[in-house]
Amino acid sequence: MVIMTMTSSPTFLPVLERIAEEMERTPGRGRPADYIPALAACDPRSFGMAVAELDGTVYGVGDWRQPFSTQSITKVFTLALDLAREGDELWEHVGREPSGNPFNSLVQLEYENGIPRNPFINAGALVVTDRLQTRTADAAGELLAFLRAESGNPSLDFDKEVAASESQHGDRNAALAHFMASYGNIDNDIPVLLDQYFRQCSVAASCADLALATTFLARHGIRSDGTRLLTRSQAKQVNAVMLTCGTYDAAGEFAYRVGLPGKSGVGGGIIAVVPGRCALCVWSPGLDERGNSVAGVAALDRFTTLTGLSVF
C-alpha cells in the first residue's frame, strides 16, 4: 500500500495504516448507491482515509487522493456558509432534531407544516440551499469557491454526469421543494433551486480535499487563511447537528460507535471532526441499508477506539 504524506511526522499515520490493513481483510463492504446510475459502477472495495491537522498538514492511506462524488457531505458546507450570513434566523426555517425517517421522506413535512426536521435530510438541505441562493445568487458556486479555497485545490469542480443523473431521477426532491413552497418556506423558483441543489451534490473531491475543507470546524470556525467564518458558538452548532443528524436515521448508532460529529454521503464518503485536533474523511462506496459507507463507519470506529479521541 502506498502512503503519501505532506509532513515528516504525521501524528496519526500509524493508526491510519493499521486501519487500512484491517479494512483490506474485512468482507462484506455493502453496495454502491444504484439508484443514482452514475454511482452504481463504483467498486465497493475501494477505500481511502485522510486526516487534516489544524495547521493544514494532510496525509492518508489507500485511495485518499481519488476524487469521488461528495453528495450529501456538501450539506455541511452549505449550512456553514448560510449560517455565517443570516445567523439564528435560519433556524426559524429548519429544525435541529434527528428525523428518524429516511433522508428523502415526505411524511414529517406535512405534520410539521413544511419545516424540515434538520438541515441534513433532503428537505432541510433544500431549504438551506434556497436561503443561500437568495443571499448569493449562486449557492452552488459559493460552495465550490469555498471548497477550492479551504482544500487548496483549484481544480475541484462539479461532475456534470452526476448532476444530470440526479436531475433525471429527482422527482422526490422536486416534490419536497414544491411541498415546502406551498407553506411559504421556499423563496426561489423550484427549477432554479433544484439545479443549484443537484450541482451542489455533484461536487467531486478526494478524502484529502474534504478533510482539509472540514478543518475549519475543528478550528472552531476559523478558515485556513486565519479569517473567521463562524463564531465559536456557530461552529459548535454545526458540529452538534452533525453528531445528532449527520448520518441519516443511523445517527444514534454512529454516535455510539464513533463518538464524533460526522456527515455521510451516498457516494460513500464520511467527514468527521475532532474539535481542537483534526478533521477526517474516509471513503468507500459500499453502503449499508441506511445509506452510510460500511467500511467508512467501521474505519472511524477503529480510529476513535485506537486513538481514544471522541467528544465524550
Q: Which residues are catalytic?
A: 72, 75, 197, 248, 266
The DSSP symbol for 293 reads B
Within the chain, where are the H helices?
13-24, 37-40, 74-86, 107-111, 122-136, 139-151, 160-168, 171-182, 190-201, 207-218, 232-245, 251-257, 294-307
Grid cell listed for 79: 449550512
Cell, residue 299? 474505519
- CA-nearest of 239, 237, 238, 255 to 292 is 255
**Angle of helix 13-24 versus helix 294-307 axis, rounded to 10:** 140
Please list the alpha-helical segments (H only) found in 5-88.
13-24, 37-40, 74-86
At 212, list the grid cell.
482539509
Q: Report the distance separating Cα 186 and Cα 193, nearest Å.
A: 9
In the sheet where 262-264 sits, what is the strand order?
Answer: 4-5, 58-62, 48-53, 278-283, 269-274, 262-264
Q: DSSP state, 203?
A: E
Query: How far apart are alpha carbons 220 and 216 in whole angstroms?
Result: 6
CA atoms within 13 A on the CB side of 34: 5
Element (H, E) at 53: strand 48-53
Backbone angles phi, psi at 291, to 5 degrees: 90, 15
Helix, strand and coil in the chain, % to nearest 5 = 50, 15, 40
For residue 164, the one-letter residue type is A
